[in-house]
C-alpha cells in the first residue's frame, strides 16, 4: 500500500459514512489524476459526474482513460512512429 492511501481504504470500509455521503446526493465530484483511489470513492458514494484535474501536464498513461489515445493514434501523432 502506498503511504497515505490507507485513508481511502478506511473510507471504503466505513458503510455508515458511505450511506451518509450518499444521502447528500452530490452531483459532481472532483479529484486529482495522481490519486486514482479518490475516483473509486466518488463512485462508491454514488457520484456519476466526475472531473479529473491535474496541476501538471497530462501524462501519456492517462490518455486511454480520458479518450485521447484513440484520437492520437488516428491522427498518427505517435512519437517515434515511422511513416
Supply the pTM of this predicted model: 0.61
Give the burial string for 53-82 (b: 16+ CB within 10 Å, else e).
Answer: eeeeeeeeeeeeeeeeeeeeeeeeeeeeee
Phi, psi of 55, deg, nearest 5: -95, 10
Q: Identify any residues that bridge with 50 across adjacent strands, giving them in sequence order.
A: 29
Q: Within 10 Å of residue 47's Cβ, how many Cβ atoms?
A: 20
pLDDT tens per residue across span 43-80: 999 999 999 888 877 676 766 666 666 666 666 655 55
- Please report the beta strands in 1-83, taking only residues with DSSP state E, as ranges in sequence order: 29-32, 50-53
Domain parsing of the chain, residue ranges: 6-75
Residue with the bigger pLDDT between 81 and 49: it is 49
CA 35 to chain centre: 7
Amino acid at each position: 500500500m502506498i503511504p497515505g492511501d490507507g485513508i481511502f481504504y478506511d473510507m471504503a470500509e466505513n458503510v455508515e459514512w458511505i450511506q451518509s455521503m450518499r444521502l447528500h446526493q452530490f452531483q459532481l465530484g472532483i479529484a486529482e489524476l495522481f490519486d486514482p483511489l479518490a475516483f473509486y470513492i466518488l463512485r462508491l458514494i454514488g457520484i456519476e459526474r466526475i472531473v479529473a484535474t491535474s496541476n501538471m501536464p497530462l501524462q501519456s498513461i492517462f490518455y486511454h482513460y480520458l479518450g485521447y489515445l484513440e484520437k492520437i493514434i488516428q491522427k498518427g501523432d505517435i512519437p517515434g512512429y515511422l511513416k
